[in-house]
Amino acid sequence: MDCDRQRAVSMIDALETDSSTKASMYRAFERRTELFGNRIYFFREPFTPVSLTGMRCSLKCRHCNAYYLRHMLDGSEGRLYSQACHLADKGAKGLLLSGGSAADGSVPTYRFAESIKNIKRDKKLKISAHTGIVNEAQAQMLSEYLDMALVDVIGDDGTVHDILGMDAGAGDYEESLKNLSSAGIPLAPHIIVGLHNGELKGEFRALEMVRRLAPEAVVIVVFIPTEGTAMEGIAPPKIEDVVRVIAKARGMFDVPLSLSCVRPGGKYRSKLDTYAVLSGVDRIAIPSRSAYNISREAGLDIIEVPKMCCSYGVWS
């Protein structure tokens, strides 16, 4: 074991957590070093999300209730092309198509095909999209212009029913992954830790579903208790639970493993970022100061990637 790994082992030993968690962190850190050496990539400027539905969403998910649509640019009602041009003129390399879900769980990106094709032709932007649940026909339409599919993968039927309020199940998400992959769209599956009331339920099954395909990257999202939703009073998942998912993912995949920009803030984020760096992630979106500090202390080489989503190859 080289000096950097020895340093990481000492840092993990000093953490206030149980021996089982530490053991999984040792293995995961060594694995990420084997795959990526001493490099860790920080993405401080992710793509700007644009809502194709404005504030409209047919679902009333307990963890969101359309709250996050407020913070997106409005691309509805013919505004998408002008919003994309505005971003491109400011130096953006890409944009994230998002929005509220239809009743079937899809985000209706495919309804904006002509505008998106024009954006790619005129502005040469990378196009990512939150797709939700999609069938074969929808996936084929998306394949005409989509550079990356960002799919929230839910691995538990109860979570789909109780939290998202949909008459669907984990199998529908697995089928969506297959449809997107078969259509030739690169995948960056998102695993949401703690979505079921802050507890682990289905995350490991979701990872197994993803492993059957060939993702470009795997992204770890962490449930945020959000004001004004039915789950605002629920605690975020335990840091040790997030570590369990990160370490498991690191052992399963040899592709980039990202910690998403969607994670709680404050002291929780500082602690999580410290643990995540020592648990196998090789990239972090919007890193905290503690992410910088722990990476330097562990002897990692921080590489800043400007104006890029953490789901993409760093030189895309």
pLDDT of residue 248: 98
The full length of the chain comes to 316
For residue range 46-69, list pLDDT tens digits in order. 999 999 999 999 998 999 999 999
pLDDT, tens digit, for every residue of 111-160? 999 999 999 999 999 999 999 999 999 999 999 999 999 999 999 999 99
Written as six digits, the tokens of 88 are 């491109």
Q: What is the pLDDT of residue 1?
A: 40
Q: Please give the sequence-ordered ranges of beta strands (E in DSSP) within 87-185, or none if there are none.
A: 94-98, 126-130, 148-150, 152-153
Using the predicted structure, report yes or no on whether residue 316 has a pLDDT greater than 70: no
pLDDT value for 60: 87
Residue 86 · residue 110 · CB < 8 Å? no
Rounded (5°) CA angle 120-51-311: 60
The torsion angles phi and psi of 225, rounded to 5 degrees, stand at -65, 120
Q: What is the pLDDT of residue 315?
A: 55
SS3 label, residue 62: coil
CA distances from 133 to 75, 79, 263 (A): 21, 24, 22
> What confidence score (pLDDT) does residue 313 get?
80
Tokens of 81: 């092309």
Structure tokens that stand for 188 in this block: 């960056």
pLDDT level of residue 4 (50, 70, 90 thresholds): low
What residues contact residue 297 under an 8 Å CB cut-off, 6+ apart? Answer: 7, 11
Q: Whole-prediction pTM value?
A: 0.96
The dihedral over CA atoms of 71, 77, 78, 83, expressed in degrees to the nearest 10, equals -10
Provide the residue ranges of all domains of the chain, joining segments of one domain with +. Answer: 3-304
Q: Position of tokens 């020895």?
A: 6
> Is a pLDDT exceeding 80 seen at residue 77?
yes
What digits encode the pLDDT tens for the residues 224-264?
999 999 999 999 999 999 999 999 999 999 999 999 999 99
> First vs last Cα of the chain: how many Å apart?
33
Average pLDDT of span 105-112: 92
Q: Which fold has domain 3-304?
A: TIM Barrel (3.20.20)
Structure tokens at 237: 């998942």
Q: Is the dihedral of CA 171, 56, 308, 134 positive or negative?
A: positive
Q: Give the phi and the psi of residue 74 in degrees, each rounded to 5.
A: -85, 110
Q: In this predicted structure, what is the pLDDT of residue 57?
A: 96
Please report which helix (H) or strand (E) contains residue 73, including its range.
strand 73-74
